[in-house]
Amino acid sequence: ALQKGDAALGGFISEWDRLARSGGDAVRQALAESLRGVMPAMRALASEDVDLLEQMNVVDDHRRQADFLAYSSIFCGTAAGGGTGGNGMRCDLRFLDDSRKEAEAL
């Protein structure tokens, strides 16, 4: 399951530009799909290897943050008055860029 998840995550990252053009919801759905079996597999292994538990928590933190940022990109235009997310970039694109960084850290 971990190898399959790693391959799916690689595909997710390679499709990022297409997904980001479709918006934060598309990114969130693809992220969830690519990691579907990874966390249960990691939990099973962590029950036998305590050192893996910390690594699993790091992966889960990156997953949650990537999802949160993609979710935030959906609403930032209205919540922030359509503002920018820094360096003149639209806030939705900034959130998606930050989400990609979190996904790449997985």
Rounded to a whole number of angstroms, the distance between the first and last alpha carbons of the chain is 15
Is the Cα dihedral 16, 17, 23, 24 positive or negative? positive
Mean of pLDDT over the chain: 85
Query: What tens digit of pLDDT does each residue of 69-93 get?
Result: 999 999 886 655 556 556 667 888 8
Which of helix, strand or coil describes residue 73?
Answer: helix
Q: pTM of whole model > 0.85?
A: no
Among 66, 53, 54, smallest CA distance to 105 is for 66
pLDDT at 48: 77
Q: Which two tokens stand for residue 100?
A: 């990609």
